Structure formats: structure tokens, C-alpha cells
């Protein structure tokens, strides 16, 4: 496929997944409002910590298959349905082992008590999580990105919001958020598994290839470690905060984190399609093409994120107060976490190529970033609480952005950063717009301010920043599944 064809494919994939991001945003906000207003900061803090531990274990259990499965399918050593079946079995074995450990030691999931009754068996939801992850990765290999949109952006968040609302009016309210979480994971699993079976069919004549499973697990360890390190770096802050602060503080931090990660989800709009395109381009030996894809997606993401970061940053206090007056104290945390999302995107984009070119070096950098974050957080969290946790995360994100981009540039021997000065030029009038909207109050600031700041930034960046292939992102074409 030509470079123009690949760019068009990336653009269509990004548009498809971005539509999913908007749908997910539309459902995530009602859940946060329900959780903040009807359950309170303490219950939300317990929910945030428990689900963080379970999802970290599920991330480890996926064994890097979310990105590594594309390479396995591209190799074609076995019929595709059998490769997918092996991947699912491997993920299930790891997820069940991890879940049983957490069930046996509930204090890991519930450090402030609890873990009785239904709560204790919540870690079993890891099986549903890894099933969805592997199914979505397999469908992405065939460019069927609509499955991820439906499962992750419609079924999962809306199930979470609706069940949480219903549970708030029952005697089960104490466990309402966790019950809603379990229901949403099962629903997402069903929504991703059914289209997988339709697309690939049943693996006829399949039986577990135990030797190959072992080799696959071993080969994917560096990738699994890098995935876990990157994912863990975004959850380590809550883990450390949960050990030093009350559940209420964790709940406030969680709401700030959920708002701040909205720009980060813009980056993930390209994850599903970028990995297959990079894999195919590398297989063709076109390293310049890989660098071009990284730069192009990097610019698209930087442009989208910077506008979102500015809009959310200048309306941060009003955004947090929407979920309850208690949460408005997290403004400084929100500002730092927005910075983290912007810095972290470039490291993540570079990693998309590094996992195929320098797996071990990429893993070492990820671990180094995790250790740096741990050290800084352990120093600052006991003193500054949530602000200290966010600061540790921001410093680690800057370290990873610089080092991973530098490593990829050295490997490909060509620039890979998508940063352009037009982003700065577009940001200046958006900053002025942001300062103006801060004079508005409450809901008016959100309803008027966010679109105004975004509109100013978008108008300028479109006029002076988007040229040629850049505009393919906004040219409608045939969707991707």
C-alpha cells in the first residue's frame, strides 16, 4: 500500500475510533455525575482503587497481546481462527491465575477494609477484560474497528452508568458501583466476542498448541512488561495515594483524573489502526514510511490534545464542581494531570514502533520511568497528597516522552516527533480565550467556555497548521468495519 493509502487508512481509522471517543465521553460523564452526586467521594475512591488493581492484573494477563497479536496474525504460522483461539486461551489462563490470587488476598484490592461477599470475587472480571482486549485486537487486524467502538464506547460505559443509577435506589447501594462495574465488563465482553466469532468463525480442528503458547508467552514478555509499565504508570498514582490518603482524597483525585484523561483518549483513537499499519510497513522494510506514519499521527494527536487540554484547563474548577463541591478542591491536580496526558502521548506513539524494533530497550525505558515515578511519588505524596501523585506522574511522562522519541529516532535514523510550531501559534489565541471565559460562572463557563476555546484553537490550527495529507483526517470516506 502507498504512503498516501496508509495515511488515508490511518485517518479513517482515527475518525472511526474518534466517533467512539465521543460516544464514550457522552456515557462516561453521566456515570461520574451519578457516582459523585449519589455515592460520594469515599465510595468513588474505593471503586477507583479496587478497579485499578483488577485492571492492572488484567493488563498483565493480556501478555502484550493487545498489540502483539497483530504480528502473530501477520506471520500466518497457523490458520487465523486457531491463532486467536491460542491467544484467548493464554490470556484466560493468566487472568484466572491472577484473579485467584486477588480473591485469596482481598487486602490487595481493598486496603481500607471490605472484600467480603460479592466484593471478594470482583477480580474474576479480569477474564471478561482480557477476552474483550484480545477480541478487539483480532478484529483490528482486519480493520474492523467498529467492534471496539460498540463494546468500549457504547455498551461498557452506558451499562456502567445505568446499573450504577439503578443500584443507588436498592439495598445493594453499598456495593452499587462495583456491581455496575462487573455488569459493564461482562456486557463489553459479549459485545466484542460475538462479532469475533462471526468474523473468524470457530477454530475448526483446533486444540491447544501448548508449546506454541509457551513460546508466545515468552516472546511477548518484553511487550507485556512495557504495556504493564505504561498502564501501571497511569495507575501507580492512585495506588500510592490509596496507601497514604483517605478514600475521599482518592475519590477527588479519581474525578480529576477522569476529566484529565479525556485528551488521552484522543490518542487511543489511533491505537487500533496504527499497530497494523506499522507492522505491515516494517514487514516491507520501509523504515522511512514508519517514521512518516509516526510523525503524521503524532501531529494529529498533538493538535487534538492541545485544544482539549486548554479548554479543560481553563474551565477546570467549574468542571470539577459539577460532580459536587467537594471535588472542586482538585483543581491543581487536574492541571498537572492534563499536562501528563499531553506529554505522555508522544512516548506512547513512539512505543508503537519500538515494541517491534527494540522490545527490550523499550521495556527498560518503561521500567525506568515507573521507578522514577515511584520514587518521586513516595517522596511527595505524604507531603502534598494528590498534587504530589500528579507531579510524580508528570515528571515520569516527560522523561518517557524524551527518551522514547530519541531512541526511535536513532533506530530509524530520521525524525519521528510530530510537533510543529503551528501548534504554539494556535495555542496563543486559545489561551487568551481561556482567560476570558474564566470570568464566566458555573455551568455558563462550561457550556460557553469549552466550545469557545476549542473553536478558537481549531480555527487557527486548521488555517495555518493543516496542509495536504493532514486534512485527510477530516475527509469522509468508507469506514473501517
* pLDDT digit string, tens, across residues 172-222: 898 899 999 999 999 999 999 999 999 888 888 888 877 777 777 777 777
Per-residue pLDDT at 480 exceeds 50: no
- The pLDDT assigned to 83 comes to 86
Convert 20-68 into a string of H (helix), E (strand) and C (coil): HHHHHHHHHHHHHHHHHHHHHHHHHHHHHHHHHHHHHHHHHHCCCHHHH
419, exposed or middle or buried, with CB in 10 Å at 0-12, 13-18, 19+? middle
Let me know: does 275 contact 140? Beta carbons within 8 Å. Answer: yes
C-alpha 446/C-alpha 369 separation (Å) is 35
Average pLDDT over residues 364-385: 91
The region of weakest confidence among 67-71, 112-116, 421-425, 474-478 is: 474-478
What is the model's pLDDT at position 434? 93
Give the rounded percent of residues in the chain with a pLDDT score beyond 70: 87
The Cα 225–Cα 223 span in angstroms is 5
- pLDDT the model gives residue 42: 86
Which one is predicted more confidently, 93 or 322?
93
Q: Return the pLDDT at 457.
A: 93
CB 226 within 8 A of CB 400: no
411 has a pLDDT exceeding 60:
yes
Residue 18: band (very low, low, confident or very high) from pLDDT cuts 50, 70, 90:
low
Sign of CA dihedral 133, 134, 138, 139: negative
Q: Are 61 and 100 in contact (CB under 8 A)?
A: no
User: What is the per-residue pLDDT for 472?
Assistant: 67
- Between 295 and 184, the higher pLDDT residue: 184
Backbone phi, then psi, for 27, in 5-degree steps? Answer: -95, -30
* Distance, CA of 262 to CA of 257 (rounded, Å): 9
Is residue 268 predicted with pLDDT exceeding 70?
A: no
C-alpha span between 179 and 388 (Å, rounded): 31
In this prediction, residue 479 carries a pLDDT of: 41
Q: Which of 168-177, 298-307, 347-356 has the highest mean pLDDT?
A: 168-177
Q: Which of 170-184, 216-230, 321-335 has the lowest mean pLDDT?
A: 216-230
Residues 279-300, mean pLDDT to the nearest whole number: 82
Cell of 433: 480565550
Mean local confidence (pLDDT), 226-248: 78
SS3 category, 205: coil
How many residues in the chain?
481
What is the reported pTM? Answer: 0.75
CA distance linking residue 390 with residue 304, whole number of Å = 22
pLDDT digits (tens, 9 = 90+) for 89-104: 989 999 999 999 999 9
pLDDT at 114 (0 to 100): 63
pLDDT, position 16: 53
Please report the pLDDT score of residue 419 as a whole number: 79
8 Å CB contact between 370 and 232? yes
Residue of 468 and 437 predicted with greater confidence? 437
DSSP assigned state of 440? S
Residue 105 has pLDDT above 80, yes or no: yes
**Closest to 135 in 3D by CA, of 155, 160, 161, 164:** 155
Cβ burial of 254 (10 Å; 0-12, 13-18, 19+) is: buried
The answer to whether the beta carbons of residues 477 and 12 sit under 8 Å apart is yes
pLDDT value at 24 more than 70:
no
Res 481: pLDDT = 41
Confidence of residue 474 (pLDDT cuts 50, 70, 90): low
- Does the pLDDT at position 131 exceed 80? yes
Q: Residue 478: pLDDT band by 50, 70, 90 thresholds?
A: very low
Top-confidence range, 226-240, 333-347, 379-393, 410-424: 379-393
3-state helix, strand, coil in the chain (%, to 5): 85, 0, 15
Q: What is the mean pLDDT of residues 437-444?
A: 86
Residue 1: strand, helix, or coil: coil
Query: How far is it, in rounded angstroms, from Cα 27 to Cα 17?
Result: 15
Q: What is the pLDDT of residue 2?
A: 52
Average pLDDT of the chain, as a whole number: 83
Of 205-209, 250-254, 382-386, 420-424, where does mean pLDDT reach its minimum?
205-209
Share of the chain above pLDDT 90, in %: 26
What's the average model confidence in pLDDT over 108-134? 85
Residue 330: pLDDT above 80? yes
Residue 379 has a pLDDT of 94
pLDDT at 389 over 50: yes
Amino acid at each position: 500500500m502507498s504512503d498516501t493509502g496508509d495515511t488515508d487508512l490511518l485517518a479513517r481509522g482515527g475518525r472511526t475510533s474518534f466517533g467512539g471517543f465521543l460516544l464514550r465521553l457522552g456515557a462516561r460523564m453521566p456515570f461520574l455525575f451519578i457516582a459523585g452526586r449519589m455515592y460520594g467521594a469515599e465510595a468513588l475512591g474505593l471503586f477507583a482503587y479496587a478497579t485499578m488493581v483488577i485492571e492492572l492484573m488484567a493488563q498483565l494477563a493480556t501478555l502484550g497481546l493487545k498489540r502483539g497479536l497483530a504480528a502473530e496474525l501477520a506471520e500466518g504460522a497457523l490458520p487465523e481462527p486457531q491463532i486467536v483461539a491460542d491467544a484467548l486461551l493464554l490470556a484466560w489462563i493468566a487472568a484466572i491465575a491472577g484473579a485467584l490470587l486477588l480473591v485469596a488476598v482481598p487486602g490487595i484490592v481493598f486496603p481500607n477494609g471490605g472484600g467480603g461477599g460479592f466484593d471478594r470475587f470482583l477480580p474474576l472480571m479480569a477474564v471478561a477484560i482480557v477476552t474483550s482486549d484480545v477480541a478487539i485486537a483480532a478484529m483490528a487486524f482486519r480493520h474492523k474497528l467498529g467492534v471496539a467502538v460498540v463494546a468500549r464506547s457504547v455498551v461498557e460505559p452506558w451499562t456502567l452508568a445505568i446499573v450504577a443509577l439503578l443500584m443507588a435506589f436498592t439495598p445493594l447501594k453499598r456495593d452499587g458501583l462495583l456491581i455496575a462495574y462487573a455488569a459493564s465488563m461482562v456486557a463489553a465482553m459479549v459485545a466484542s466476542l460475538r462479532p469475533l466469532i462471526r468474523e473468524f468463525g470457530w477454530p475448526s480442528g483446533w486444540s491447544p498448541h501448548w508449546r506454541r503458547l509457551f513460546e508466545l508467552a515468552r516472546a511477548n514478555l518484553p511487550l507485556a512488561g512495557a504495556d504493564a509499565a505504561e498502564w501501571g504508570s497511569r495507575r501507580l498514582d492512585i495506588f500510592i495515594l490509596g496507601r497514604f490518603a483517605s478514600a475521599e482524597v482518592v475519590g477527588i483525585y479519581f474525578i480529576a483524573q477522569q476529566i484529565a484523561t479525556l485528551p488521552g483518549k484522543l490518542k487511543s483513537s489511533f491505537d487500533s489502526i496504527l499497530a497494523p499499519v506499522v507492522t505491515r510497513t516494517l514487514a516491507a522494510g520501509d523504515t522511512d514510511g514508519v517514521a512518516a506514519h509516526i510523525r503524521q499521527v503524532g501531529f494529529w494527536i498533538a493538535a487534538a490534545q492541545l485544544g482539549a487540554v486548554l479548554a479543560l484547563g481553563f474551565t477546570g474548577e467549574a468542571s470539577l464542581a459539577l460532580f459536587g463541591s467537594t471535588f472542586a478542591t482538585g483543581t491543581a491536580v487536574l492541571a498537572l494531570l492534563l499536562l501528563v496526558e499531553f506529554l505522555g502521548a508522544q512516548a506512547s506513539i513512539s512505543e508503537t514502533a519500538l515494541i517491534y524494533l527494540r522490545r527490550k530497550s523499550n521495556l527498560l525505558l518503561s521500567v525506568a520511568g515507573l521507578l522514577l515515578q515511584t520514587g518521586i511519588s513516595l517522596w511527595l505524596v505524604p507531603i502534598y497528597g494528590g498534587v504530589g501523585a500528579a507531579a510524580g506522574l508528570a515528571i515520569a511522562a516527560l522523561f518517557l516522552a524524551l527518551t522514547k522519541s530519541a531512541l526511535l529516532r536513532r533506530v530509524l535514523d530520521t525524525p519521528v516527533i510530530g510537533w510543529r510550531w503551528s501548534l504554539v501559534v494556535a495555542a496563543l489565541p486559545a489561551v487568551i480565550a481561556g482567560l476570558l471565559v474564566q470570568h464566566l460562572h458555573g455551568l455558563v463557563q462550561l457550556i460557553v467556555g469549552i466550545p469557545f476555546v476549542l473553536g478558537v484553537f481549531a480555527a487557527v490550527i486548521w488555517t495555518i497548521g493543516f496542509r495536504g495529507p493532514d486534512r485527510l483526517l477530516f475527509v469522509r470516506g468508507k469506514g473501517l468495519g
